[in-house]
Amino acid sequence: MNKSKTFDYFNKVANTWLEDLEEKNEEDILINPFEGSWSISELYDHIIKVARTYQIPNFKKSVTTEVERKKRKNIKGLVIFNVGIKKINMKIKMENFPKPLVKDFTPIKQNKTELIKDFKQFINEVNSLKETLLKSKRKNKHYHLMFGDINTKDWFTLIAFHMAHHEKQKKKINEFLKSR
């Protein structure tokens, strides 16, 4: 996927998520449908938090002198970013991440108005990265815990792929809400 298509893909996914959120009522977004599961509000908050605290800062670092290179891109990274498989059946437990990331990634509940405002702001923040994305080079890489050294385009792609990764979870929550 070229850089412009990567950008368009993010907007397609993000706008679908925004439309879905806008259709929900206040009560539904706060319901935890299953023991130990997140509400819609928490799921969206998690997507935003991971992007703001991890993906976007590392995207930005990949084009600076602050880059950290540790290991070549691994097989997971190659499958996701080079082959383009967007959805991998992979259970990722936040407890397995370093403690500061767990704290940064743990969601909170927001009311619908706040969440929509925050999600729209998130979309705008990601869209503001377009120029950096288009100007980046393949050699601009920064280390990712699960994928190894990935380039700027991969870091950007990860934002949309993270939403795709949680699509199944969102669908389960939506099915529960419809069945009530």
For residues 105 and 50, the answer to whether their CB atoms sit within 8 Å is yes
CATH of domain 3-179: 1.20.120.450
Closest CA to 178 of 34, 22, 18, 33: 33
**pLDDT digit string (tens) for 36-61?**
899 999 999 999 999 999 999 999 99
pLDDT at 104 over 90: no
| pLDDT attached to residue 66 | 80
Query: Domain coordinates of the chain in residue numbers?
Result: 3-179
How many angstroms separate the CA atoms of 179 and 86, rounded? 28
pTM check: above 0.75: yes
Task: List C-alpha distances in Å: 35 to 27, 38, 39.
Answer: 18, 9, 11
